Amino acid sequence: MPALVIDDVSCAFGGVVAVDRFSLAVEPGEFVTLLGPSGCGKTTTLRMVAGLERNTAGRISIGDIVASDPAAGVFLPPEQRQLGVVFQSYAIWPHMTVFENVAYPLRVRRRPTAEIREQVAAALRLVEMEAFADRPSPALSGGQQQRVAIARALVFAPRILLLDEPLSNLDARLRTQMGDEFRALQRRLAITSLYVTHDQEEAMALSDRVVVMDRGRALQIGRPENIYQRRASRAVAAFFGSPNLLDGRVTACRQLGENEYRLAVAGAGWQGECRASEPYGSGEAVIVLVRPENIAIEAGSEPDAITFGGKVQEKIFRGPRVSLKVVTPDRVINVDASALSSVAVGDRIALAIAPAGAWAIRP
C-alpha cells in the first residue's frame, strides 16, 4: 500500500486555481520531490498533505486513512495526521533551548518525562546535535538550526516527513553538505519523504523520483536521470537551463527495446540519429532536445552523430566549465565545455552530438 496517495486533488483560492487535478502516489520509504518555479503549486500541495490548506476537490490518503475528501465531508486536522514538517524558515522557537525545541511535539502529546528525555536524545544523535542540547536556539548557525528542525520533525516517529525548501536559506557549500547528510539519514531511517524545491540540482541529487510542476499540474514524473535527459515535453525542457531545441523531421525509426527507439532525423544543415520513447513515422515533425553538456567539440565523431560547424560568438567562464554560444547556419547553439578549453571567441569549430545525447519530443 502506498504511504501517501494524492488523487485528482485541486485547490482554489477565490478564482485562482493553485493546484489543478494533481495526482501522485508515494511508496513507503520513497523520497519524492516536487520541483518547479515559484507559484507552480508545489508548496500548496505540500500544505494540503499536512492539513494546513484544504483541498477543494479530490482525495488525500495517508496509508489506509483518508485525510481529506471534501466530497465526503472528511478533513483530518494536522495534529491527527502524524506527519513531520520542516519549514523553509525552520520555525525554531528562540526562547527555547535545542532540547526544548525538539521535545515540543512530545510535550503537546503529553508523553511521559522519561520517554521525552530518551526520544529527544535519540533524535539529536541522529542529526549529530546531542552536544548542543542545552544551547539557546539563537546561538545556533543556519545549518545547526536546520538539523534541530529535522530532529523535531523526526522525534515522534512520523508516518511521512514533509519538507518545504529546507535548504534554501543556507549558503551554496552548506546547502550541498546538508542535502547529502539529510539524504543519507533518510535512506538509513527509510522514512517516506515529500520534498519541495525550485533548485533543479538539489532535486536531482536527493530524489528517488521527481515531479516537475507548472501552473498547478504535474508535467512529468520520473527518476531524476530520466527527467533530466528524457523530457516529456517542451515545457519540461524549458525549465532546465538552456537546452537546444532542434526542429527536424524523422527519416527512419527502429525499436531498441521497451519504450526505447532510435530515430534518423534531419534538419536545416544537419542530420544524424537520436533517441525517443515512442515510435515516429517517416516524415513526422520532431524537436530534438540536446543538453549543452552533451555536445562535443571535435572534428571527428562517432557514426550517426548529429554534426554542425559554427563560429564561437560568446564565451562565458563559469568556474568548472565555460558556456559557449556557437552560430551555425541554422541557429545559435549553446555548448558547455571544460574550463580548460582553449576555444576562443571568433574560432570556427566542429560540434558533434552522439545519438545517446539527443532526445526526441513532439512539437
27 with 66, same domain: the answer is: yes
311: DSSP letter: E
Residue 217 burial by Cβ neighbours in a 10 Å radius (0-12, 13-18, 19+): middle
CATH number of domain containing 73? 3.40.50.300
| CA–CA distance, 158 with 84 (Å, rounded to integer) | 5
18 with 162, same domain: the answer is: yes
Structural domain that includes position 33: 4-234
Q: What is the DSSP string of 201-264?
A: HHHHHH-SEEEEEETTEEEEEE-HHHHHHS-SSHHHHHHSS--EEEEEEEEEEEEEETTEEEEE
**Residue 247: per-residue pLDDT:** 94
**Residue 334: per-residue pLDDT:** 95
Over residues 1-11, the pLDDT tens digits come to: 999 999 999 99
CATH number of domain containing 246? 2.40.50.140
Q: Give yes or no for residue 300 having a pLDDT over 70.
A: no
Burial 235-259 (b: 16+ CB within 10 A, else e): ebbebbeebbebebbbeebeeeeee
Over residues 134-161, the pLDDT tens digits come to: 999 889 988 899 899 999 999 998 999 9
C-alpha cell at 60: 488525500
**Residue 230: per-residue pLDDT:** 86
**Domain boundary pick from 182, 213, 234:** 234
338 with 323, same domain: the answer is: yes
**Strand, helix or coil at 334?**
strand
17 with 138, same domain: the answer is: yes
107 with 215, same domain: the answer is: yes
Helices marked H in the chain — which ranges?
42-50, 98-108, 113-126, 142-154, 172-189, 200-206, 224-229, 234-239
| CA–CA distance, 307 with 294 (Å, rounded to integer) | 12
**Domain boundary pick from 191, 217, 234:** 234
Pick the most confident of 93-102, 170-179, 294-303: 93-102
307 with 341, same domain: the answer is: yes
250 with 159, same domain: the answer is: no
118 with 212, same domain: the answer is: yes
Q: Give yes or no for residue 337 having a pLDDT over 70.
A: yes
C-alpha cell at 55: 483541498
Q: Give yes or no for residue 162 having a pLDDT over 70.
A: yes
Over residues 186-206, the pLDDT tens digits come to: 999 999 999 999 999 999 999
**Domain boundary pick from 216, 234, 252:** 234
Average pLDDT over residues 208-223: 96
Give the pLDDT band of residue 299 (cuts 50, 70, 90): low
Over residues 60-92, the pLDDT tens digits come to: 999 999 999 999 999 999 999 999 999 888 788
| CA–CA distance, 124 with 135 (Å, rounded to integer) | 13
| CA–CA distance, 9 with 225 (Å, rounded to integer) | 27
Average pLDDT over residues 317-339: 93
207 with 332, same domain: the answer is: no
101 with 192, same domain: the answer is: yes
122 with 268, same domain: the answer is: no
Number of structural domains the chain divides into: 2
What is the bridge-based pairing of β-strands 57-62 and 4-13? antiparallel
Q: Could you report how far apart the first and last alpha carbons of the chain are, in Å?
A: 38
* Mean pLDDT, the chain, integer: 93
**Residue 113: per-residue pLDDT:** 94
Over residues 238-291, the pLDDT tens digits come to: 787 778 999 999 999 999 888 899 999 999 889 999 999 999 999 999 999 999
What is the bridge-based pairing of β-strands 160-164 and 83-86? parallel
84 with 202, same domain: the answer is: yes
